[in-house]
Chains A and B, each alone.
Chain A
Amino acid sequence: MTDRSFLDIMTNVFAVFILIILFFILIFREQHTMMVEGVIVPMERNLAEDYYYLELVEHFVIPLGLGGECNEKYYKLIKTDFGHICVAYPSLLKKTPEKFNFYNKSSIYYKTLKGLDPSTTYLVFLVRPSAFDYYHEVTKVAKENHFKVGWYPLKEEEPLAFSVYGRKIGPQD
């Protein structure tokens, strides 16, 4: 009789345990849906001077600066006939990865957002293929901080070239 009760209790405890696990699994599964508001406006807009550019590589966010000026802390500026090219210092992400890590709340990305005025500044993300998985999370934070955002894809090794003949990128919030 004692053995049976013990087995019953064990079975019940086990079942409850399973139910709890199933509950958590289902809850976590729900979080894998992400909603994106794809309100898109025409691309050509004369707002270039208000654009603040950021480069996205994997889950790292590197600020380029207003109007595509190369932030001298992170990029070397090379002038060309029609504009300039920003070249990130080699081993920038290897030396201080946490500084640029999007998942680090004290990273340069969050500091940059705090230092900018969302009513006058648009954020333009230049996105490498390795960062596509993180783009929507990164821009969600910017939108929560009331920024309008735009983006443009870059190939993995493509240089960051800014030219007077370049493409204008409108906010796409």
Chain B
Amino acid sequence: MERPFIDIITGAIGVLCLFIIIFLLSSWHNAKIVLKINASTMNGKYPMFVICSQSKNSSSGLATLVCVDDYLTEPSLKKDLKNMCKTLKIEGLGQVTPEESWEIFERFLVSHFLKDKFYIFSLIKPSGVEVFKEKLDPLLRRLNLEMGFIPIPENWEFSIALKTTDDR
């Protein structure tokens, strides 16, 4: 009577363990790599991140402002970023063409509001090389703005943080 009971328990444990192994192995196989990006302040300006990628619905390139503000320490800067994200979203709600979106973005870039506090840090995905080279990079160079850029593999996740030492 005891043996079948033990057999059942052992069997159940075995099956449970197998499930755990299969689950972990599959999640390990699909594990996303996280790129931790430490961006510095530059001449007292803070990085504002823009992701260059390709639209999922069409072949057009996208430059998307990162609206996560965890890396900013000052509440006023968080507010600035929030306002910018809000405004861009409102103005971009299907009422403007991609070309007009770039014009709006340019207006922000040259406004004192942005120019004195932020610089653009581009996170470029392989699918976003074209939009970076043909739109964002020429725009920032034409406006003579400081910038930074870094490659982000397509399926990697990333986290952004601020390196506070302004020693350059």
A contact residues around B163 at 8 Å (CB):
37-39
The answer to whether A132 and B125 have CB atoms under 8 Å apart is yes
Map CB proximity to B onto A46-84 as digits: 1 under 8 Å, 0 otherwise. Answer: 000000000000000000000000000000000000000
Of the four ranges (under 10, 10 to 19, 20 to 34, 35 or more), the interface on chain B belongs to 35 or more
B50 within 8 A of A: no
Is the CB–CB distance between A132 and B151 below 8 Å? yes
Q: Is the CB of A153 within 8 A of B133?
A: yes
B36: which of A36, A127, A135 is its contact (CB, 8 Å)? A36
Within the complex, what minimum Cβ distance (angstroms) separates A123 from chain B? Answer: 15
Q: Give chain B's interface secondary structure class.
A: mixed
A133 surroundings in chain B (CB, below 8 A) = 153, 156
Residues of A within 8 A of B148 (CB): 38, 40-41, 172
Q: How many residues of A contact B (CB 8 A)?
A: 38
Binding-face segment, A3-11, A85-93, A94-102, A106-114: A3-11
Please indicate the chain A residues that have their CB under 8 angstroms from the CB of B143 in the complex.
none
- With A14-B14, A18-B17, A29-B31 known to touch, is A35 a contact of B151 (CB < 8 Å)? no
Binding site for B on A (CB under 8 A): 3-4, 7, 10-11, 14-15, 18, 21-22, 25, 28-29, 32-43, 127, 129-130, 132-133, 135-136, 151, 153-155, 167, 172
Question: Which residue numbers of B lie inside 8 Å of A, CB to CB?
Answer: 2-3, 6-7, 10, 13-14, 17, 20-21, 24-25, 28, 31-40, 42, 47, 121, 124-127, 129-130, 132-133, 137, 141, 146-154, 156, 163, 168
